[in-house]
Amino acid sequence: MITLTLEQLQTIYIQAEKIYPEECCGLLLGKIEGENNLVSEVRETENSWNAEDFEFLSLTERTKRTNFSIAPEVILKVQKEARDRNLAIIGIYHSHPDHAAIPSEFDRLIAWPQYSYVIASVRQGKVIDVRCWKLDKDHQFQSEEILVE
Ligand SMILES: [Zn+2]
Protein backbone atom coordinates (compact mmCIF):
# COMPACT_ATOMS: atom_id res chain seq x y z
CA MET A 1 0.00 0.00 0.00
CA ILE A 2 1.11 3.55 -0.71
CA THR A 3 -0.24 6.51 1.23
CA LEU A 4 -0.43 9.99 -0.25
CA THR A 5 -2.26 13.14 0.72
CA LEU A 6 -4.84 14.61 -1.63
CA GLU A 7 -2.53 17.60 -2.07
CA GLN A 8 0.34 15.35 -3.17
CA LEU A 9 -1.89 13.61 -5.70
CA GLN A 10 -3.05 16.97 -7.00
CA THR A 11 0.57 18.06 -7.43
CA ILE A 12 1.06 15.04 -9.73
CA TYR A 13 -2.19 15.76 -11.61
CA ILE A 14 -1.30 19.41 -12.22
CA GLN A 15 2.12 18.46 -13.55
CA ALA A 16 0.70 15.66 -15.72
CA GLU A 17 -1.85 18.02 -17.27
CA LYS A 18 0.72 20.78 -17.80
CA ILE A 19 3.24 18.50 -19.52
CA TYR A 20 0.56 16.74 -21.65
CA PRO A 21 0.83 15.44 -24.39
CA GLU A 22 4.28 14.40 -23.17
CA GLU A 23 4.86 12.16 -20.18
CA CYS A 24 5.67 13.89 -16.92
CA CYS A 25 7.71 12.22 -14.20
CA GLY A 26 9.03 12.64 -10.70
CA LEU A 27 10.16 11.04 -7.49
CA LEU A 28 8.25 10.14 -4.34
CA LEU A 29 10.14 10.73 -1.10
CA GLY A 30 9.03 9.20 2.14
CA LYS A 31 9.30 6.33 4.57
CA ILE A 32 8.49 2.66 4.49
CA GLU A 33 6.62 1.48 7.56
CA GLY A 34 6.00 -2.26 7.31
CA GLU A 35 3.73 -2.81 4.31
CA ASN A 36 2.89 0.86 4.01
CA ASN A 37 4.84 3.34 1.89
CA LEU A 38 4.22 6.78 3.33
CA VAL A 39 4.87 9.60 0.88
CA SER A 40 6.06 12.83 2.46
CA GLU A 41 7.06 14.73 -0.66
CA VAL A 42 6.38 14.72 -4.39
CA ARG A 43 9.42 15.92 -6.33
CA GLU A 44 8.90 16.94 -9.94
CA THR A 45 11.75 16.01 -12.28
CA GLU A 46 12.40 16.67 -15.93
CA ASN A 47 11.57 13.98 -18.46
CA SER A 48 15.07 13.53 -19.86
CA TRP A 49 14.08 10.73 -22.22
CA ASN A 50 16.47 10.42 -25.13
CA ALA A 51 15.82 7.62 -27.61
CA GLU A 52 19.56 7.15 -28.17
CA ASP A 53 20.01 6.05 -24.54
CA PHE A 54 17.65 3.15 -25.11
CA GLU A 55 18.68 1.94 -28.54
CA PHE A 56 19.18 -1.54 -27.10
CA LEU A 57 15.41 -1.79 -26.62
CA SER A 58 13.28 -2.39 -29.67
CA LEU A 59 10.61 0.18 -28.98
CA THR A 60 7.99 1.05 -31.56
CA GLU A 61 7.34 4.50 -30.09
CA ARG A 62 10.38 6.57 -29.31
CA THR A 63 9.27 9.96 -28.04
CA LYS A 64 8.45 11.68 -24.73
CA ARG A 65 4.79 11.04 -25.48
CA THR A 66 5.28 7.37 -24.70
CA ASN A 67 8.46 7.17 -22.63
CA PHE A 68 10.11 8.87 -19.71
CA SER A 69 13.48 8.87 -18.07
CA ILE A 70 14.87 10.52 -14.96
CA ALA A 71 18.57 11.38 -15.24
CA PRO A 72 20.68 9.20 -12.89
CA GLU A 73 22.45 12.26 -11.50
CA VAL A 74 19.08 13.74 -10.52
CA ILE A 75 18.13 10.53 -8.71
CA LEU A 76 21.47 10.50 -6.87
CA LYS A 77 21.13 14.13 -5.82
CA VAL A 78 17.58 13.65 -4.50
CA GLN A 79 18.62 10.40 -2.80
CA LYS A 80 21.36 12.21 -0.86
CA GLU A 81 19.08 15.04 0.07
CA ALA A 82 16.39 12.60 1.23
CA ARG A 83 18.88 10.67 3.35
CA ASP A 84 19.92 13.87 5.11
CA ARG A 85 16.29 14.28 6.16
CA ASN A 86 15.89 10.63 7.21
CA LEU A 87 13.78 9.91 4.15
CA ALA A 88 14.30 7.78 1.06
CA ILE A 89 13.09 7.64 -2.51
CA ILE A 90 10.23 5.17 -2.22
CA GLY A 91 8.65 5.57 -5.62
CA ILE A 92 8.59 7.03 -9.09
CA TYR A 93 5.57 8.53 -10.80
CA HIS A 94 4.85 9.35 -14.41
CA SER A 95 1.91 10.01 -16.68
CA HIS A 96 0.43 8.16 -19.63
CA PRO A 97 -0.95 10.66 -22.16
CA ASP A 98 -4.01 9.10 -23.83
CA HIS A 99 -3.19 5.66 -22.43
CA ALA A 100 -4.45 3.68 -19.45
CA ALA A 101 -2.62 3.87 -16.09
CA ILE A 102 -1.08 0.48 -16.78
CA PRO A 103 2.70 0.02 -17.07
CA SER A 104 4.16 -0.43 -20.53
CA GLU A 105 6.74 -3.05 -21.36
CA PHE A 106 9.33 -0.26 -21.32
CA ASP A 107 8.22 0.73 -17.80
CA ARG A 108 8.69 -2.85 -16.68
CA LEU A 109 12.13 -3.20 -18.24
CA ILE A 110 13.53 -0.10 -16.54
CA ALA A 111 11.78 -0.62 -13.18
CA TRP A 112 13.52 -1.31 -9.87
CA PRO A 113 12.00 -3.73 -7.38
CA GLN A 114 12.29 -1.43 -4.36
CA TYR A 115 10.09 1.34 -5.78
CA SER A 116 6.37 1.90 -6.08
CA TYR A 117 5.32 3.13 -9.53
CA VAL A 118 2.45 5.59 -9.62
CA ILE A 119 0.96 6.13 -13.09
CA ALA A 120 -1.59 8.81 -13.95
CA SER A 121 -3.67 8.40 -17.09
CA VAL A 122 -4.31 11.69 -18.92
CA ARG A 123 -6.99 11.83 -21.60
CA GLN A 124 -7.24 14.97 -23.73
CA GLY A 125 -5.32 16.94 -21.11
CA LYS A 126 -7.25 15.77 -18.02
CA VAL A 127 -6.18 13.17 -15.48
CA ILE A 128 -8.86 10.48 -15.37
CA ASP A 129 -7.20 7.68 -13.42
CA VAL A 130 -4.27 6.97 -11.14
CA ARG A 131 -2.88 3.59 -10.17
CA CYS A 132 0.14 2.22 -8.40
CA TRP A 133 2.31 -0.78 -9.28
CA LYS A 134 5.16 -2.69 -7.74
CA LEU A 135 7.36 -5.45 -9.16
CA ASP A 136 7.04 -8.95 -7.78
CA LYS A 137 9.91 -11.44 -7.53
CA ASP A 138 9.44 -12.42 -11.19
CA HIS A 139 9.89 -8.79 -12.30
CA GLN A 140 6.20 -8.50 -13.17
CA PHE A 141 4.08 -5.55 -12.06
CA GLN A 142 1.40 -6.15 -9.46
CA SER A 143 -1.19 -3.58 -8.48
CA GLU A 144 -0.51 -1.72 -5.23
CA GLU A 145 -3.31 -0.06 -3.28
CA ILE A 146 -3.30 3.75 -3.07
CA LEU A 147 -4.57 5.24 0.18
CA VAL A 148 -5.44 8.94 0.07
CA GLU A 149 -5.29 10.71 3.40
ZN1 LIG B 1 4.75 4.37 -18.61
Average pLDDT, the chain: 95
Please determine, looking at this structure, whether the domain spanning 2-148 carries the CATH number 1.20.1290.10: no
Distance 35 CA to ligand 1 centre (A): 24
Distance 23 CA to ligand 1 centre (A): 8
Distance 66 CA to ligand 1 centre (A): 7
Question: 3-class secondary structure for 45-73?
Answer: ECCCCCHHHHCCCCCCCCCCCCCCCCCHH
Instruction: State residue 98's pLDDT score.
Output: 97
In sign, the C-alpha dihedral spanning 9, 15, 16, 18 is positive
pLDDT in tens, 121-132: 999 999 999 999
Instruction: State residue 56's pLDDT score.
Output: 78
pLDDT in tens, 46-105: 999 988 888 877 777 788 999 999 999 999 999 999 999 999 999 999 999 999 999 999
Distance 126 CA to ligand 1 centre (A): 17
Instruction: State residue 6's pLDDT score.
Output: 97
Distance 149 CA to ligand 1 centre (A): 25
Q: Which of 95, 42, 91 is nearest to 64 (CA)?
A: 95
Per DSSP, what are the bridge partners of residue 92?
27, 117
Distance 120 CA to ligand 1 centre (A): 9
Q: Which of 119, 97, 90, 89 is nearest to 107 (CA)?
A: 119
Question: Residues of the chain with pLDDT > 90: what percent?
Answer: 86
Instruction: State residue 35's pLDDT score.
Output: 87
